């Protein structure tokens, strides 16, 4: 995970990565549209207007899908919220 600006320059980076499990594919897209967008191999990008929705989903995330990455994702969301022209990137393999 990383926060990048319009030029794609990295502004902040997480140490942990998403611990991908099959449980992500089982998330209900109606309840978790932001997290449902994550895939293990592709990138997902969230803008400043999407970050509050992502934060709300992280609060409801089932415990078995959590981990150190959740707190770091929250921290990166705050960076995006405080800045301008910043995006949170979940970078797949």
Q: In what order do the strands lie in the sheet with 10-13?
A: 10-13, 2-5, 86-90, 44-46
Q: What is the pLDDT of residues 45-66, one digit of tens each?
A: 999 999 999 999 999 999 999 9
User: What pLDDT does residue 17 have?
Assistant: 86
**In sequence order, what DSSP letters do the residues of 38-75 get, joined into one string?**
--SSS-EEE-TTTHHHHHHHHHH--GGG-SHHHHHHHH
Q: What is the pLDDT of residues 2-50, one digit of tens each?
A: 999 999 999 999 998 888 887 888 899 999 999 998 888 899 999 999 9
Q: How confident is the model at residue 82 (pLDDT cuts 50, 70, 90)?
A: very high
CA angle 37, 40, 42 (to 5 degrees): 65
Distance CA 45, CA 41 (A): 13
């Amino acid at each position: 995970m990383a926060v990048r600006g319009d030029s794609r320059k990295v502004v902040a980076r997480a140490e942990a990565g998403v611990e991908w499990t099959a449980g992500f594919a089982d998330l209900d897209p109606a309840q978790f549209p932001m997290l449902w967008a994550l895939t293990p191999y592709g990138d997902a990008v969230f803008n400043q207007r999407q970050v509050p929705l992502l934060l709300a989903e992280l609060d409801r995330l089932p415990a078995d899908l959590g981990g150190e990455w959740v707190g770091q994702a929250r921290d990166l969301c705050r960076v995006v919220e405080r800045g301008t022209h910043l995006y949170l990137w979940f970078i797949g393999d």
